[in-house]
Amino acid sequence: MIAIKDLSVKYQSNNKETLALDKVNININSGDIYTFIGPSGCGKSTLLYVLSGILKDYMGSVSIDDRAINPKTQRIGLILQNYGLLPWKNVYQNTMLGIKIKNDNQELDEYSSYILKQLGIDTLLDRYPKELSGGQQQRVAIARAFILKPDLLLMDEPFSALDAITREEMQELFLNIWKQNSVTTVFITHSVDEALYLGSKIAVFSPSPGRIVEVLDNPCFKQDNLRFRDEYSSMSMKLRKMLRD
Amino acid sequence: MIPKEKWQGTLYSFIVVVVLWWAVSWLLKLPIVPSPFSVFANISEIFTARIQIHVIYSLGRILAGIAISILIGVPLGYFMGYFDRVDKILSPLVYFTYPVPKLALLPVVMLLFGLGEASKLIMIVLIIVFQIVITSRDAVKAIPEETFRSLQALGASKLQMFNEIIFPASLSEVLTATRLALGTAVSILFFTETFGTEYGMGYFIMDSWMRVNYLDMYAGIVVLSFMGFCIFIAIDIAESYVCKWR
């Protein structure tokens, strides 16, 4: 379980202090996927940087399974909007980067070949990122995160740079792989639709400074033909209303 | 390897230069501008017997000068680019000393290090190391913050950051700086070889001039240029090989 208690983050810019997160409290159950939704600039990404151990200057406490966050000992997969691939590494080297840093065996074992195949990038292994489309690059980033077998998977609007059709395709693909390897996941989005489709729980953020307004159970999660169901439209209405207020 | 267009471009430029040179020599009809063809004939005649040894000396000095400059300049530039505190201390020093005409320090260097190889190398290094320091520093600074994010989340060590990001990201710029430094290094080499040595292309050219042997002098100039050109191409090939991803 990830326990976040009274987490506040301040930014120092131009001698002015800006409060990015204001006393955020949430417990994230292991093996669940939480979507965090809120207006842009509400500090969602800041929260992610705290969880990934990149941002260390915060108040309050954050722990994963009762241990403080430490990227050196924990396995944290991070998937960013701009994919975070290294342009000088080909697809294979990029997908293996996570376990390389963790000093694992870097051979293409059954599990990693399976992930690469599932994501449809097993035929692109010697290409470089610039030779790939946005969707393909994001598949590589997802493959890297899953091959790492992370304790915690963090995703910062990973699909928002993709076109609408590719985005839905990727959401489905991601959910499929996720169902087979239920990693604790925090998924940040500004799309109501995406939050409903991917989150078993939905945390709604207030505008800046970010506070969690409410954590909702999502009845739509893991439902087939989701977008045609009544629950979907009523949840969607509810969320939109909360975000407006 | 080098693509076909590049070879064609090189051949084309060579022909243009030779034709212009020939036209000037034909118009002037002076011994100070001999025809390119007699110069080429002269090279093939005297190269093994009289030029070869000078080429070896000059090549050795150039390569050593560049190698030392890279060994000093690149790590220094990386440190300045990666650690803001180092940059704050060293940048003003670099900026302050960069515009000092280092060639003017030649008498000092010669007094301190003698007339031998050491002062020749020191002159080359003194002049080109700055370009390499500044380029390496800027190359590291230009790496976007986000590039480091995924590795930070993986808990990568400083050494891993260096191996996976800093080195590969800056390699191409460092090679470009080396290529630019090469042109400068050849000029300095020529200058420093005009004294205190009896070997090197600079010596050969100046000696031929003193002996009023213009054919030999031109042979020296052509060989020295060709030598620079070869190193230039070698760096090009190295770059296309190590920076395939671009």
Which residues from A are below 8 Å from B162, CB to CB? none
Rounded Cα–Cα distance for residues A238 and A222 (Å): 19
Using a CB–CB cutoff of 8 Å, tell me whether B155 touches chain A: yes
- pLDDT average, residue stretch B161-167: 92
As a three-state string, the secondary structure of chain B is CCCHHHHHHHHHHHHHHHHHHHHHHHHHCCCCCCCHHHHHHHHHHHHHHHHHHHHHHHHHHHHHHHHHHHHHHHHHHHHHHHCHHHHHHHHHHHHHHCCCCHHHHHHHHHHHHCCCHHHHHHHHHHHHHHHHHHHHHHHHHCCCHHHHHHHHHCCCCHHHHHHHHHHHHHHHHHHHHHHHHHHHHHHHHHHHCCCCCCCCHHHHHHHHHHCCCHHHHHHHHHHHHHHHHHHHHHHHHHHHHHCCCC
Radius of gyration over alpha carbons of chain B, in Å? 22
DSSP 8-state class, residue B104: G
3 state SS of B216: helix
Q: Using the beta-carbon criterion (under 8 Å), do A80 and B168 form an inter-chain contact? A: no
Least trusted range by pLDDT, from A105-109, A198-202, B184-188, B234-238: A105-109
What type of residue sits at position A134?
Answer: G
- Amino acid letter, B165: I
Which residue does chain A place closest to B243, by CA atoms? Answer: A88
Taking CA–CA distances from B153, the nearest residue in chain A reads: A52
A205-209, B142-146, B216-220: the lowest-pLDDT one: A205-209
Contact B150 A97 (CB under 8 A): yes
> What pTM value is reported for the model?
0.82
Question: Cα distance from B138 to chain A (closest Cα, Å)?
Answer: 18
Helices of type H across B142-213: 145-153, 158-161, 167-192, 201-210
- Over residues B197-245, the pLDDT tens digits come to 899 999 999 999 999 999 999 999 999 999 999 999 999 888 888 888 8
Amino acid B145: pLDDT: 85
Question: Nearest CA of chain B to the CA of A128: how many Å?
Answer: 6
Quick check: A177 pLDDT over 90?
no
- Residue B67 has what pLDDT? 95
Pairing between strand A212-217 and A67-68? Answer: unpaired
Q: Which residues of A touch B (CB under 8 A)?
A: 52-54, 70-74, 76-78, 80, 82, 84, 86-90, 97-98, 100-102, 128-130, 144, 148, 154
- Neighbour tally for A108: CB within 10 Å: 14
